[in-house]
Amino acid sequence: MGTAQAVGVIALVVSAVLGSTYLLGRNLLPEEPRNDSAVTATGAEHPEYADQVPPSADSPAPTGTPSSVPPSGVPHDPDHGETQDPNFGPMGTRVTTGTGTVALTFDDGPNPDYTPQVLALLREHRVTATFCLVGQNVQAYPWLVQQIVADGHTLCNHSWEHDVTLGARSPEQIRNDLLRTSEAIRAAVPDAPIAWYRQPGGAWTYSLVATARELGMTPLHWTLDTSDWQRPGATRIAASVLDGVQPGSIVLLHDAGGDRQGTVDALYRILPELSGRLDVEALPRHGF
């Protein structure tokens, strides 16, 4: 074999090895992380904070959850195979207003960047809503809770630190978490009723439902999930509400837990169009 041929063979071998190494490296790279992390009142990243992020495989499985819940969220009567009252979903949680009124709900706040913008827009369009509050954010920003109540909105307990796996804990731990959150809310607004509880991630268990009811709070689920925590943009968030809403819908939105400017911007379209079609009001302040 001549010198030129030998050099050519060596070059081909080296190219093949480098190409294989590149492909192998690409396969070993981790996937791009989902951009659904969020920021707590202290500014620390908290990937599990967004409502729809499921617990990881290492998280304890919630106990007492039925083996299956229909996609609509409406439970079925196992003895008769018939759909029960459509106003109720997983384990008897509330999924509609029960009337023709639509309820907008805002989770994970309060937040000093987004909650004031949401409140200003609601005030401009004379719409009241329901705010599901995280205890540690209430403790950090009590004046925002005071403003929520001053504007006539309804309050909902949303756990102390947005613990998706809270339902897997003991009844005593669940009770302490909910009480701690309600106490923080009452420290900010002593006379305001807290008639609702919403479990982060909608990860309901019978212990959660029973404890919430024992503490005088109605377990609150939703009819329409906008998935705004995924930050799809204001246009898609607005379309998800305006295209999917029906009389009686409880709409899930967020005013905290990450960058919520898309949700705020979507309200510029949602509020005038929705209030022109349907009655939009906060859930009853004292529950059902």
More confident residue, 251 or 23: 251
On whether the CB atoms of residues 288 and 99 are closer than 8 A, the answer is no
Per-residue pLDDT reduced to its tens digit, 172-189: 999 999 999 999 999 999
Q: What distances in angstroms separate CA 57 from CA 62, 70, 157, 227, one per listed residue?
A: 12, 22, 27, 22
Q: 106 versus 37: which is more confidently predicted?
A: 106
Predicted local confidence at residue 185, as pLDDT: 98
- Give me the number of domains the chain comprises: 1
- Closest C-alpha to 201, from 73, 94, 53, 61: 53
89 assigned to some structural domain: yes
Q: Does residue 66 lie within any of the structural domains?
A: no
Is 219 part of any domain? yes
Report how far apart, in Å, the C-alpha atoms of 264 and of each of 94, 109, 115 are.
25, 13, 9
Q: Environment class of residue 206 by beta-carbon count within 10 Å: exposed (0-12), middle (13-18) or buried (19+)? A: middle
Model pLDDT, residue 102? 98
In the block, tokens 């009655």 appear at 279
pLDDT above 70 covers what percent of the chain? 71
195 domain-assigned: yes
**Is residue 211 assigned to a domain?**
yes
Q: What is the longest distance spanned by two Cα atoms in the chain?
A: 95
Burial of 76 (0-12, 13-18, 19+ CB in 10 A): middle
Average pLDDT of the chain? 80
Q: Cα 130–131–133 angle (5° rounding)?
A: 150
- Tell whether the model's pLDDT for residue 79 goes beyond 90: no
Range name among 22-31, 47-56, 77-86, 164-173 with the lowest pLDDT average: 22-31
Q: What is the mean pLDDT of residues 254-260?
A: 97
pLDDT attached to residue 42: 27
pTM given for the model: 0.75
Whether 156 maps to a domain, the answer reads: yes
Distance CA 127, CA 225 (A): 20
Tokens of 239: 């379309």
Residue ranges of alpha helices (H) inside 86-205 are 115-124, 135-140, 142-150, 171-188
Residues 6+ apart with CB under 8 A from 254: 50, 51, 106, 107, 108, 109, 228, 229, 260, 263
Catalytic residues: 107, 254
- Domain, as residue range, for 153: 84-277
Judge whether 7 lies within some domain: no
Q: CA 64 from chain center: how many Å?
A: 21
Confidence category of residue 68, pLDDT binned at 50, 70, 90:
very low
Q: How confident is the model at residue 2 (pLDDT cuts 50, 70, 90)?
A: low
Whether residue 27 is predicted with pLDDT greater than 50 in this model: the reply is no
* Helical residues (DSSP H) of 35-141, grouped into ranges: 115-124, 135-140
Identify the CATH number of the domain in which residue 220 sits. Answer: 3.20.20.370
Residue 178 belongs to a domain:
yes
193-233 per-position pLDDT tens digit: 999 999 999 999 999 999 999 999 999 999 999 999 999 99
